Structure 1
Amino acid sequence: MKLATLDSGSRDGTLMVVDRDLQWAVPVPQIANTLQEALDEWASMAPKLENIYQSLNGGEIEGVALEVEQLAAPLRRAYQWLDGSAYLSHVERVRKARGAEMPPSLWTDPLMYQGGSDHFLGPQEPICVADDAFGVDFEAEVVVITDDVPLGVTPAQARSHIKLLTLVNDISLRNLIPSELAKGFGFVQGKPASALAPVVVTPDELGPAWDGAKVHLPLRTYWNGKLFGEPDAGEDMQFDFPQLISHGAKTRSLIAGTLIGSGTVSNVDWHRGYSCIVERRVMEIIEEGAAVTPFMSYGDRVRIEMQDSQGRSIFGAIEQEMRRC
């Protein structure tokens, strides 16, 4: 099943069921007005939404043309946004960029931060920054959305709480982050609003690419129309999604609609390219002695997308332009 949120003028938008090929959509106010409303009662709502989905795919009901530019983020605001950093090749390269060591605990205990969830950008909303000297970087990730997760859930138990998946551009302002982290707390200014892909999907939509814990498909990022990287999201993921959920719920319960990010998708084999600029810069320093790739500039565009084995877009594409605020 695939779901999206129409930017209908209301604060949280209007929930729509989307067909498998991302061509048609049907608003479903008779079931739930918003995605959060559906997630709050997922056990009873999901079968009703699935019926609409099957009818739409089978041509039994007529939908309206899906216009991505009219979509908001599937969850425009969420109760919780916990972003892991499960690809340790990414962690190692980013820490090298700011001269930080890799503590041994990172191999056994997931790294995670609590991000701002009060506003997620839609798939085509611009990246607005006041100064391009902030060091604007894209970060392509996979994200899962949960139902209510009890405190202390184990990784084995956490699998059943994964209800939806999508993609996120977890934007970073690289030149602001080092001074923030040096204070001993976490990100605030260095992490502006993130953008979500056009649609969220139930795990079954991924077929064999979803093993219950990881997505085994390339995540492609294009910068100004050129392929920047296509690392495989299923490889080199030190901590899978059930482990990340369990980590996040160690001392708190997680409310339905919580987003758990994979962290920037990264492979040890850097020849597949990168999901963020800073990794390329670090490899340039290692190989050439200096970083030559700049961060994003005004007018630059980034596209993030994942396709199935037949080349069909699963979540639709995040396509953003960087603009001055």
Structure 2
Amino acid sequence: MKLASLKHGRDGRLLVVSRDLRRVCIAEGVAPTLQAALDNWDECEPALRRLYQRLNRGEHQAAFAFNPVECAAPLPRAYQWADGSAYVSHIELVRKARGAEMPPSFWSDPLMYQGMSDGFLGPHDDIELADEAWGIDFEGEVAVITGDVPMGVNEHRTLDHVRLLMLVNDVSLRHLIPAELAKGFGFFQSKPATACSPVAVTPDELGRHWHNGRVHHRLRVTLNGVLFGEPHAGTDMTFGFDRLIAHASLSRCLGAGTIIGSGTVSNRDPNAGACCIAERRTRELLDTGEASTPFMRFGDTVRMEMCDAGGHSIFGAIEQRLTPYSGPDQ
């Protein structure tokens, strides 16, 4: 099943989207928003699935053309956004470039931070930031949306709580990160609003490509229309979502609608390219002694998409332009 949110108020209006991403219908009479559906998943899921089946058969009389530009993030705001760093080889590479050793514990205990969740960007919303000097970077990731997760849940049961999957662009301000982390209290200013794919899908939509808590497809990222990277999301993922959810719920319950990210998708193979500028710059530094790829500049456009074996888009594409933010209206 594929779900989306039409831009409407703060929390959007729940849409059911056809498998081919061509037709859509409003989830009339089932749930007004995706958060409402997640809060009452056992009741809403069967009704939404019936709408989905009718839509795919071409039987829904009120269906209309799907336009991702009109979509908010599937969850325009969420109760919780926790981003992991599951591709440990990516962390190892970045630390190596600055001559820092990676603690052995990184291979057994996931890194995770709690990010901004009170407003996600839609898939085609501009990235509005005030200063190019902040070192503006994109990060292509996979994320899950959970139902209610009990505190201390057994790792072998965590995937039972995954309701939906989607893509995210976790924007990072690389030049703000070092000083902020040096304070010893984690990210804040260096992690602005995150964007999400237009569509979130239930795990069964991925078939055999969803197993071991990993999505086994390539994530394609382009910058200004040029391929930047196409790493395989299931390869070199040290911690699957089963482990990430267990880590997040060790000492707290997770409410329905919690979003957990994978961290930047990354492969050891340099031929796979990268899903963020920082990784490419790191490889350049190690290979040539100089990082030559610049961070994003105003007017740049980044696109992220994941396709199935037949070349069909699974989640729709995130496509965003970086634009200057002029400050609040006076």
SS in structure 1 at match of 2:143: strand
Whole-angstrom distance in 2 between the partners of 1:92 and 1:81: 24
Partner amino acid for 1:257? Answer: G
- Evaluate the alpha carbon distance shift between residue 303 and residue 248 of structure 1 in structure 2; reply closer, same or farther with a 3 A threshold: same
SS in structure 2 at match of 1:205: helix
Match of 2:48 in 1: 49
Whole-angstrom distance in 2 between the partners of 1:296 and 1:201: 30
Q: Which runs of 4+ in 1 moved over 4 A?
A: none
Matched, 1:169 2:169: yes
Checking the alignment, whether the CA contact within 8 Å between 1:301 and 1:319 is kept in structure 2 is yes
SS in structure 2 at match of 1:303: strand
Whole-angstrom distance in 2 between the partners of 1:189 and 1:98: 22
Match of 2:12 in 1: 13
Match of 1:193 in 2: 193
CA shift digits 1:68-100 (9 cap, x unpaired):
111111100000101000001211233345554
Match of 2:328 in 1: none
Checking the alignment, whether the CA contact within 8 Å between 1:97 and 1:278 is kept in structure 2 is no
CA shift digits 1:178-221 (9 cap, x unpaired):
00000001111100000000000000111111115100110010
Checking the alignment, whether the CA contact within 8 Å between 1:86 and 1:262 is kept in structure 2 is yes
TM-score by length of 1: 0.98
1:28 CA displacement: 1.2
| RMSD between superposed Cα atoms in Å | 0.9
CA shift digits 1:121-170 (9 cap, x unpaired):
00000111100000000000000000000000121010100110000000
Whole-angstrom distance in 2 between the partners of 1:238 and 1:151: 23
CA shift digits 1:237-277 (9 cap, x unpaired):
11000100000000000000000101000011111100000
1:224 CA displacement: 0.4
Moved more, 61-70 or 15-24: 61-70
Whole-angstrom distance in 2 between the partners of 1:225 and 1:39: 36
Partner amino acid for 2:64? Answer: V
Match of 1:104 in 2: 104
Which runs of no fewer than 5 residues in structure 1 stay unpaired? none
- Residues 1-325 of structure 1: matches in 2 within 5 Å? 1-8=1-8, 10-62=9-61, 63-97=63-97, 99-325=99-325
Partner amino acid for 2:58? Answer: G
1:101 CA displacement: 2.8
Instruction: Name the count of aligned residue pairs.
Output: 324
- Evaluate the alpha carbon distance shift between residue 100 and residue 193 of structure 1 in structure 2; reply closer, same or farther with a 3 A threshold: farther
Q: Percent identity?
A: 59
Checking the alignment, whether the CA contact within 8 Å between 2:121 and 2:194 is kept in structure 1 is yes
Partner amino acid for 1:61? Answer: H
SS in structure 2 at match of 1:106: helix
